[in-house]
Amino acid sequence: MDTHSFTVAIDGPAASGKGTISKAVAAHFGFAHLDTGLLYRAVGRRVLEGVDPLAAAQALTAEELAQGDLRTGEIAQAASKVAVIPEVRAALVDFQRAFARRAGGAVLDGRDIGTVICPRAEVKLFVTASAEVRAERRYLELSSKGADVTRDQVLADVRERDARDAGRSAAPMKPAEDAVMVDTTDLSIDAALDLAKSIINKKLAAQN
C-alpha cells in the first residue's frame, strides 16, 4: 500500500458525525488526524481572552490545541466568528497543508478542506445531517459534560453557526464538486464509517 502522501478531506457542519468518522478512519488506516476546527477554536479562545484575532492566529502553536477544553459552546461561536476573517484563515493554511502532505496518510476534517485547503485530496467526503439531529447529538454531548444548556439553545446555536459558516465569503462551508455526500440523518455513524472505509479502500487499491 503506497500511503506516502494520501489525504482524506472530511467536511461538514457541526455535529454531523465528521469528527467521529475522521478519528475512526485515521485509526483504521493508520493515518494521522487533524481536527481543523480546533485551530479556529484555539484562536477563538484567545479572542475571548482579549487577544487580536490575527495576532492569535499568527502565534498559534500545536500545543495550544491540546490545552484545556476547546469544545464548549462559547468557544464554538467565537471560532465561527474568527473563521469569517480571511487573514485569520490565510494564517492557518500552511500548517494544514503541511499536515495533509505528511508521509503515511492524513485525515483532515473541517469546512473547507476539500474546497480550499486540499483541493487535490485523494478522497473527499461531505458529512451532513439535519439541523435537528445534529443539535440533539450536540445537546447530549454538552449535557453529558455537565453544561447547563437546553435543546432549543443548542439548536439555535447550530443554526446560527451553519448560517455564518456557509454564508461567509472566505472559504464558505460547502461540498467540493467531487465530494461524496454522506447524510447521517438516518444513517448510523457505523454505517457511515463503513461507507467511508470502502471509498478509501477503493481509492487506495486504484493507486497500486
Question: 33, 41, 45, 137: which one contacts ligand DC (CB under 6 A)?
Answer: 41
The answer to the question of residue 45 lying near ligand DC (CB under 6 A) is: no
User: Contact letters (x/-) for ligand DC, 135-174, by CB under 6 A?
Assistant: --------------------------x---x---------
User: Contact letters (x/-) for ligand DC, 109-128, by CB under 6 A?
Assistant: -xxxx---------------
Query: Which residue, 82 or 199, has its beta carbon nearer to ligand DC?
Result: 82
Rounded Cα distance between 25 and 21, Å, is: 6
The residues near 53 (Cβ < 8 Å, ≥ 6 apart) are 43, 46, 47, 82, 85, 88
The answer to the question of residue 47 lying near ligand DC (CB under 6 A) is: no
Rounded to an integer, what is the distance from CA 3 to the centroid of its chain? 22
Query: Which residue, 100 or 193, has its beta carbon nearer to ligand DC?
Result: 100
The answer to the question of residue 53 lying near ligand DC (CB under 6 A) is: no
Query: How many other CB atoms are found less than 10 A from the CB of residue 26?
Result: 20
- Binders of ligand DC in range 80-109 (CB under 6 A): 80, 83
Query: Which residue, 42 or 193, has its beta carbon nearer to ligand DC?
Result: 42
Nearest to 153 by CA among 39, 76, 45: 76
Rounded Cα distance between 33 and 99, Å, is: 9
The answer to the question of residue 40 lying near ligand DC (CB under 6 A) is: yes
**Among 61-69, 79-87, 125-133, 142-150, the segment contacting ligand DC (CB under 6 A):** 79-87
Burial profile 148-171: b = 16 or more Cβ within 10 angstroms, e = fewer:
eeeeeebbebbbebbebbeebeeb
